[in-house]
Structures are given as structure tokens and as C-alpha cells.
Amino acid sequence: GLLGPKKELWDILQLVEKYCPEAQDITSSIRDLPTVRTAMGRARAWLRMALMQKKLADYLKVLIDHRDDLLSEYFEPDALMLSEEAIVIMGLLVGLNVIDCNFCVK
């Protein structure tokens, strides 16, 4: 773009596999989906897959634990994801693991 590269949620989610190799399964599966063409569609599919695997909190913890390396270029300095409150939110997401999610990801 005119103001530099466009930063999408999908770009952030792909960073998880750098520190968490098992996340590579999700990202490669999403990249191979023929019907998902946009970055936002890929991000939605990734979130659904992470919920089905009960790993969303774990993957977000990876992002938060490495936020200085990974997230500083995507968020403003005072953003929630870069603050200490992000750890509280990540802890709340662990509660989603009691829900069995079964989404159709095509």
C-alpha cells in the first residue's frame, strides 16, 4: 500500500508457528483451503480450527509471551494486546476449552 504493507490479523496468527510448531498444522491447512481467499477469511478459519483443537488460549499465550518480538509492529504501544491486561484475557480464554466446538471449515 501507499503507507507501507497492509497488516492483517492473518499475518499475526501465522506468527504463532514460529514459537509453537504444532500450530503449523493449522496454518498449512488454512493456506490449502481452496475456498478461503482473503486474509480475513483465513483468520476466521484459523480461529475456528484453534477453537476446535482447544488451543486458542495456548496460541494467544505464545503471542503474548513474545509480544515484544512479534506484536509491536502490528499494534500501537498502548494497545490491549501489548499491555499486562492481555494476560488476564488470555486466562479467561482458557474457559473456552470446556466447550466442544465443531465448525465446518471449507
Rounded CA separation 104/45 (Å): 9
Q: Above 90 in pLDDT, residue 44?
A: yes
- 105 belongs to a structural domain: no
Number of domains in the chain: 1
- 2 belongs to a structural domain: no
- 61 belongs to a structural domain: yes
pLDDT digits (tens, 9 = 90+) for 48-94: 999 999 999 999 999 999 998 888 888 888 999 999 999 898 888 88
- 80 belongs to a structural domain: yes
- Domain that residue 44 falls in: 9-98
pLDDT digits (tens, 9 = 90+) for 62-74: 999 999 888 888 8
What is the pTM (predicted TM-score) of this model?
A: 0.84
The domain that holds 17 is classified in CATH as 1.20.58.900
Return the percent helix, strand and coil in the chain, to nearest 5: 60, 0, 40
Closest CA to 104 of 33, 21, 54, 12: 33
Angle at the Cα of 99 from the Cα atoms of 93 and 101, rounded to 5 degrees: 105
Q: Above 70 in pLDDT, residue 4?
A: no
Q: Above 60 in pLDDT, residue 3?
A: no
